[in-house]
Structure 1
C-alpha cells in the first residue's frame, strides 16, 4: 500500500476484479455526517441502495467525515445525506414504502429486503464511492456503473428539498387525477390548484443531467425522495402516461423522454433487443454534464446490452480527448455501418462532444477523413465507391464544412468522395 493510499479515505480497489466501495451513513455525537467506506465484490456484496441525484454547483461545499478523514462534498449531496440519516433514524416513509410496492424487487434479487429505512445500511454514491481524482479508477468504476445500478435493491432518486410538496401530492392523490395535469394535445399544464405543486418536480434540474439516464432507466426499482417524503415508482409513474402522448419541452421534455426510455427499456428486455448508439445520441446529446465526454460515456451501459459485431463502442476511457473519442467510435462503428449512417453518427458526436472545426486537431481530422474514405456507401457497392481524382484537400474541405454546419449539414463527405459537389480549384 502506498503512502497516498494510507492517507486516503478511499480503501484500495483491485482493478483486475469487480470490486466496489459501499457507504454507510450515520451522524456523530455532534450531529455531523460521518460515513464509512467498505470494499466488496459486486457479485457477492450485501444489499445496497444506489443514489441518483444532481451534483450541483461546486462552489458550495460541506465537510463530512469519511473513514476518519475530512472530506468535502457538494451542497445537494450533503442535503441528501442529511435526509438519508433522518430516514434511517425516524423510519420516515415507512407508510409509503411498503412490502407490496417493492415486492417485485425483493423476489427478483432472491432475498427478503426489509423496506423500512431503519434497515438501510449500505449505499453506493458516485461522488464518494469513486476516487474521482484517479483516472484509472474512474475508468474502472464508470465501466461498472450500469451493473451497479442494476444490482441495487432500488435507486433512490433525490430531488432536493424543493419537491417535497409535489411528491406528497404524488403519494396521496388519485392516480387517475395525476394523469390529467396536461391540457389535451398540448404540452401545457392545466393551471389549477391541484397541478401547480407538481411544477417543481417536473421542472427539476434532475431531469436534464446526463448521468441520470442510465441510473433512471436501468434501475430495478425507483424511489423518489424529497425532504421527508419517499414515493416508489409504482406510484410516481402515474404522473407520466399523459406526458408520453403529449410530449414536452425543456426539462419537462427531458422528464418525458426519460420516463418513456424506462418504459421502452422494459419492452426491449422482453424482446431481447436494445437501442443503438444513434438512437441514444439523438435523444440525449444535449443533456447537461460538466465533461462533454460524459454525454457518450453515460450511455455505455445502455448500449452495452445490445449485441454488436464490433462490441460496445462506448467503452469508458477518460485518457481520450473528445476528438480522440470521436475518432475511436467512428472507426469501430465503420466496421458495421455504411457511410451515410456513419455521417449521421459523426454529426451527433460533434454535437454531444462539443466539437467543431476549431477544436479538432489536424491528426484527428486526417483520421476521420481516412475512416470515411475507407467506408463504402450503399450506392458505392455498385458504382465504385471511391473516385481517385478526389484530392485529400477536397476531403478535408468536406469535413470542415460538415463540422461548421453541425447536425444540419447538407454537404456530406460522401458527396465529396463521389465528386458530386464541385470544389473550386484553389481548394
Structure 2
C-alpha cells in the first residue's frame, strides 16, 4: 500500500454459500474516489485458538471469535457486502502503514455509507435469557421510535403505563439496559467510530437497531427519566450511567464545547471524560481521541507506534501546558499529571 496516498483496503464479504464458510476478497481503494463501503466498529476480544477461520483471497486466514461471529451475521444470502474493518484491512505488524491508517481513521468512518456497531451475538456471555432480552429491547426501541421525538406529556405517559403492566415495562427497561452495558461500549475506538458516522446502525446478532434511536433516547433524558420511575429507580439510574449513554453524553458535550469555543475539547479534557474505557495497547488511549479533539492536539500528537507509551504521554502533557489553560478542571500541574497518569 502506498502510504503517501489516502488509500485503504476493503473487504468484499461473499454471500452465503452451500459450504457455509466465510469467504472474503480484499481490494485497495482511494478515499478521494469516494468508494462505497460500510465500516465495522467492534470489540476485538481475547486471542483464541486457531479454530475461527475465514478464506481471504482463497487462502485460510485466522480471526478472533468476535469478528468471525460478526462476519457470519453480516454476510448476505444474495450479494457481496463491502466492509472496512481494522483487523483485516490494516497490517498491524507494519508500523508505517499502521500510523498512516490511524491518521486517516476519522475520514474512513465519516465517509462510510454506514457504520455498524457490532455489540455481539444474541446469546451474550452464554446467558440463557440473553436472546429473549434482545427481543424485548428491540420491541421497546420500536415503541420508543414510534414517537420520533421521544417526548411524551405526562398524560401520554400515564396512558402508556395503563396499557402496559408494570412488570412488562420493567423487563423491557432491564433488557435495553443490558444492551447499553455490553463491553463493546467501553472499547476505546468505538467513541470516535460511532461519533464520526453519518449513519449508524447497532447490530446484535441478527437484530439491527438504528443508532439515532439511541441518540434520541439520550437527548430526551429528562422526560424519560420520569417515565422510567414507574418501573424501577435503580434501573433508571443505571441506564443513564451506562457506557452507551456516556458515549452520547461525550458527543453532546464536545459539540456544545465546539459551539461555544469554535474548537473541540483538548486531548486532556477528552481523556479525563473517557476514563472508563479500555484498550489493549495503552498508546491507543491517546491516538483514538485524535479525530474528535482540538486541531492543535491532532497536529502536536500524530499517531506514531514507533514511540513508547511514556514518550507519547509526555508529549500530551507538554502540549497541554504550552497551548491550553487548565480550564474547567482548575488543577495545578502536579494534580493534572496525577489525573492523566491514573487514566493512562
**Which bin holds the TM-score, normalised by the shorter protein?**
0.7 to 0.9
- 1:287 aligned to 260, 277, 281, which one? 277
State the partner residue of 2:10.
22
Whether the 8 Å contact between 1:296 and 1:352 is mirrored in structure 2 is: no
Query: What aligned pairs does 1:261-410 form with structure 2 within 5 A after superposition?
Result: 261-267=250-256, 272-303=262-293, 306-308=294-296, 312-337=299-324, 342-353=333-344
State the partner residue of 2:95.
135
State the partner residue of 1:54.
43
Give the C-alpha shift of residue 348 in structure 1: 3.5
Give the C-alpha shift of residue 248 in structure 1: 5.3
Cα distance between partner residues in 1 of 2:23 and 2:89: 14
Give a deviation string over 1:176-235, Cα, whole Å, max 9, x none: 69889xxxxxxxx99713323213201111111111110111111211111222222233
Gap runs ≥5 in structure 1: 1-12, 91-117, 181-188, 354-427
Aligned in 2, Cα 1:316/1:212: closer, same or farther, shift over 3 Å? same
Give a deviation string over 1:334-380, Cα, whole Å, max 9, x none: 33246866545423431232xxxxxxxxxxxxxxxxxxxxxxxxxxx
Q: Does 1:203 align with 2:163?
A: no
Query: What aligned pairs does 1:115-194 form with structure 2 within 5 A after superposition?
Result: 121-162=81-122, 164-175=134-145, 192-194=170-172
User: TM-score w.r.t. structure 2 length?
Assistant: 0.77
| Secondary structure at the counterpart of residue 337 of structure 2 | helix
Q: Which has the larger radius of gyration?
A: 1
Cα distance between partner residues in 2 of 1:214 and 1:146: 7
- 1:225 aligned to 200, 203, 222, which one? 203
Give a deviation string over 1:86-128, Cα, whole Å, max 9, x none: xx227xxxxxxxxxxxxxxxxxxxxxxxxxxx6x632110111
| Secondary structure at the counterpart of residue 240 of structure 1 | helix
| Secondary structure at the counterpart of residue 61 of structure 2 | strand
Aligned residues: 300
Give the C-alpha shift of residue 150 in structure 1: 0.9
| Secondary structure at the counterpart of residue 195 of structure 1 | helix
State the partner residue of 2:248.
259
- RMSD of aligned alpha carbons: 3.1
State the partner residue of 1:42.
31
Aligned in 2, Cα 1:166/1:50: closer, same or farther, shift over 3 Å? farther
Higher normalized contact order (CA 8 Å, seq sep 6+, divided by chain length): 2
State the partner residue of 1:216.
194
Give the C-alpha shift of residue 276 in structure 1: 1.2
Aligned in 2, Cα 1:215/1:57: closer, same or farther, shift over 3 Å? same
| Secondary structure at the counterpart of residue 323 of structure 2 | coil
User: TM-score w.r.t. structure 1 length?
Assistant: 0.63
Cα distance between partner residues in 1 of 2:311 and 2:222: 37
Whether the 8 Å contact between 2:7 and 2:29 is mirrored in structure 1 is: yes
Cα distance between partner residues in 2 of 1:170 and 1:314: 43
Cα distance between partner residues in 2 of 1:236 and 1:337: 33
Whether the 8 Å contact between 1:155 and 1:221 is mirrored in structure 2 is: yes
Whether the 8 Å contact between 1:179 and 1:239 is mirrored in structure 2 is: no
